[in-house]
Chain A
Amino acid sequence: MKTLVYIDHFKGVVQPASWEALGVGKSLGTVEAVVLGANLNDVVKAAFEFGADEVLVADNPAIEDYRAEPYAATLSALISAEAPDAVLFPTTSRTRELAAMVAIDLKTGVLVDLTGLAVEGDKLVATRPIYEGKLMETETCSTKPILATLRARAFPRPTRNEGASGTPKKVEVKAEALTTVEGYEVAEQTLNVADAAVVVSGGRGVSNNPSLTPPAGMDEKQAEIWRAQQGFQLVGELANVLGGAVGASRAAVDAGYIPYKHQVGQTGKVVAPDLYVACGISGAIQHQAGMRNSKVIVAINKDPEAPIFQVADYGLVADLFKAVPELTDAVKKLRAEH
């Protein structure tokens, strides 16, 4: 089977799930990586090192910025020419719409945000969570090429063979755009919850520290958010020593404690890290659906009846404002010893 794998990047920084998709492509047969953008030498080199048999590259200032229409048109034309059996993408903000539009161009379908992909006869059978992870489904696409986006961390990352190289093949660019980029506000680079091997999450409980006195002049809501931010700082420190990302429950996001990108569950993000630490999260059904596939789950909550304890491997019935810093220190100490 021949697959194309779309390497998703922002200014040359690759979304790591792209390499996981490349690994899946390799396991299915011949794999060609596709890279669109400008100044792509490092990305092309990495694609060879992660196992691409061939790298197809459109390195052109006219498409330096991702925009849906020129990227979709370039990719659709390339797919028509290369005639792969399948095109794989990592699931990201860009690829969801890109794959969606290419499917319309090529009159085919998209299998989205997959956690499994198997070959049955000459068919690809995909597995994906639906209903916020409360159910799983398998699905197939009756037309070719099959377009599929793969969830981060659901597939193994191939080992990088430093020094592997090749000569990339040039791709013809369809640069006609319907949108103009006016600028970026680039956030501080933080580890994405979906890509992290460790996630430490805070819930509504992070704002309940009674021993804190908010600065004068704040109204009740501002004081609550200020308290929550102090709480999330503790969560962040634990995430730091564990080398992980900060997550949050929907309640914490809705209350304005932390931006949406941190949300776990309810189509925020379904995560499956190796270690998930829930701090002050009661564990509503949507949250559980978003994190229950984590390998090891630790719950810290002062309410022994909190539903989060039903899915946790280890529980701490404690005030998170004391327990989380204690745990941070204990992990620091242990790691220093090893």
Chain B
Amino acid sequence: MKIVACIKQVPDSEAKVSASGGKISWGEAPLVINPFDEYAVEGALQQKEANGGTVTALCIGPESGKEALKHALAMGADDAILVSDPGLTNLDTQGAACVLAAAIKKIGGVDMVMFGRQTLDDGSGLTAAQTARQLGWPMLGLVGHIKVEGGEVHVSRVIEEGRQNVKAKLPAVLSIVQSIGEPRYPSFMGIRKASKANIPVWSLADVGATAPAPVVTRTELITPPSREVVVEIIKGDSPNAIADTLADKILAEKVL
């Protein structure tokens, strides 16, 4: 079983993100593997353990993206590929899907491709389904449980109303959600192996794609206004009296 886990590098979730002059900055905060993509790597490793095979981590990004790939390697991925090219600085999700589909075809013989549900930065959550469509493979979105049997994959999809259980023939594209289980921590041995790994870098020419022109473009960045409130701490003689006062205030706001 050949599994590809697609990951992205993003600023850490603890970062204070700000915008000025059309540029986004996150101060001293580190760049990390997108937390939702750790579930994709976890799901891929579980399937490797269950069925045998290999896990390849795949990332589009600048040279620094290798650090995110090393995290996947340290978790247990067998190898990693960075797709990096000056023509890829201004990608929208359609473009990313096009490049990822080309890279997956170049890897060849892939049975399953796993994505996180969305990224912490742009957060559009479109790329998995768009990659599936580019490849012409079935899309299994928001998957919380996976079982492979006789060339078919059975999954449980987490939807608003509960779970939808679906099967599809392999190869398929999956996006993975938290129910798959907590991502494993990199082991000491894994970290050592990752630190020595020589990660190949593929250009657009290598994957046989041309730089896609973005159709969705940002026109403005806005820092949301800070919530200008001074908290009114409710006090009173007894818990009962405090609760009554607070309930009065809530009703007076006429929001119910």
Which A residues fall within an 8 A CB radius of B? 10-11, 13, 15, 65-69, 72, 92-94, 96-101, 103-105, 107-113, 125, 127, 129-143, 178-187, 189, 192, 197-198, 242-243, 253, 260-261, 266-267, 274-275, 284-286, 292-293, 295-299, 304, 309-318, 322-323, 326-327, 329-331, 333-335, 338
What is the chain B residue whose CB lies nearest that of A326?
B243
What is the chain A residue whose CB lies nearest that of B98?
A104
What CA separation (Å) do A285 and B13 show in the bound complex?
Answer: 9
Q: Are A314 and B134 in contact (CB under 8 A)?
A: no
What CA separation (Å) do A331 and B251 show in the bound complex?
Answer: 8
Q: Are B234 and A137 in contact (CB under 8 A)?
A: no
Between A and B, 25 residue pairs with Cβ closer than 8 Å are A97-B128, A100-B133, A103-B130, A104-B133, A109-B92, A110-B93, A127-B222, A131-B11, A131-B121, A133-B224, A137-B222, A138-B218, A178-B169, A182-B167, A184-B162, A186-B162, A187-B161, A198-B256, A261-B158, A266-B13, A285-B16, A297-B229, A311-B229, A315-B231, A327-B243
Q: Are A110 and B124 in contact (CB under 8 A)?
A: yes
Q: How far is the CB of A257 from chain B (nearest CB, A)?
A: 13
Instruction: Judge whether B202 is part of the interface by a CB distance below 8 angstroms.
Output: no
What CA separation (Å) do A334 and B158 show in the bound complex?
Answer: 39
> Which one of A72, A111, A113, A298 lies within 8 Å of B246 (CB-CB)?
A298
Residues in A whose Cβ lies below 8 Å from that of B229: 297, 311-313
Q: For chain B, which range describes its interface: under 10, 10 to 19, 20 to 34, or 35 or more residues?
A: 35 or more
Residues in B whose Cβ lies below 8 Å from that of A331: 247, 250-251
Q: Are B165 and A181 in contact (CB under 8 A)?
A: yes
Q: Are A141 and B216 in contact (CB under 8 A)?
A: yes
Residues in B whose Cβ lies below 8 Å from that of A107: 215
What is the chain A residue whose CB lies nearest that of B219?
A138
From B52-60, B72-80, B135-143, give the one contacting chain A: B135-143
What CA separation (Å) do A266 and B116 show in the bound complex?
Answer: 14
Binary per-residue interface labels of chain B (7-19) against chain A in the complex, 1 for a CB within 8 Å, 0 otherwise: 0000101101111
Residues in B whose Cβ lies below 8 Å from that of A133: 224
Q: Are B215 and A68 in contact (CB under 8 A)?
A: no
Q: How far is the CB of B230 from chain A (nearest CB, A)?
A: 9
> Dominant SS at the B interface?
mixed
Q: Are B243 and A97 in contact (CB under 8 A)?
A: no
Q: Are B247 and A314 in contact (CB under 8 A)?
A: no
What CA separation (Å) do A323 and B117 show in the bound complex?
Answer: 37
Instruction: Judge whether B176 is part of the interface by a CB distance below 8 angstroms.
Output: no
Instruction: Judge whether B88 is part of the interface by a CB distance below 8 angstroms.
Output: no
Q: Are A182 and B250 in contact (CB under 8 A)?
A: no
What CA separation (Å) do A316 and B231 show in the bound complex?
Answer: 10
Residues in A whose Cβ lies below 8 Å from that of B118: 267
> Which one of A138, A242, A315, A318 lies within 8 Å of B232 (CB-CB)?
A315
Residues in A whose Cβ lies below 8 Å from that of B159: 10, 93-94
Residues 3-46 of B at the A interface (beta carbon under 8 Å): 11, 13-14, 16-19, 24, 35-36
Instruction: Judge whether B220 is part of the interface by a CB distance below 8 angstroms.
Output: yes
What is the chain B residue whose CB lies nearest that of A273?
B255
Residues in A whose Cβ lies below 8 Å from that of B139: 68-69, 97, 101, 178-179
Q: How far is the CB of A36 from chain B (nearest CB, A)?
A: 16
Residues in B whose Cβ lies below 8 Å from that of A315: 231-234
Instruction: Judge whether B237 is part of the interface by a CB distance below 8 angstroms.
Output: no
> Which one of A136, A184, A316 lies within 8 Å of B224 (CB-CB)?
A136
Instruction: Judge whether B164 is part of the interface by a CB distance below 8 angstroms.
Output: yes
Q: Are B94 and A112 in contact (CB under 8 A)?
A: no
Q: Are B19 and A135 in contact (CB under 8 A)?
A: yes
Instruction: Judge whether B113 is part of the interface by a CB distance below 8 angstroms.
Output: no
What is the chain B residue whose CB lies nearest that of A102?
B133
> Which one of B138, B162, B166, B242 lies within 8 Å of A318 (CB-CB)?
B242
What CA separation (Å) do A315 and B245 show in the bound complex?
Answer: 12
Instruction: Judge whether B154 is part of the interface by a CB distance below 8 angstroms.
Output: yes
Residues in B whose Cβ lies below 8 Å from that of A137: 218-222
Instruction: Judge whether B105 is part of the interface by a CB distance below 8 angstroms.
Output: no
Instruction: Judge whether B49 is part of the interface by a CB distance below 8 angstroms.
Output: no
Q: Are B138 and A316 in contact (CB under 8 A)?
A: no
Say yes or no: A104-B243 contact (C-beta < 8 A), given A109-B216, A317-B233. Answer: no
Q: How far is the CB of A137 from chain B (nearest CB, A)?
A: 5
Q: How far is the CB of A274 from chain B (nearest CB, A)?
A: 4
Residues 197-256 of B at the A interface (beta carbon under 8 Å): 214-224, 227, 229, 231-234, 239-240, 242-244, 246-251, 253, 255-256
Q: Are A100 and B93 in contact (CB under 8 A)?
A: yes
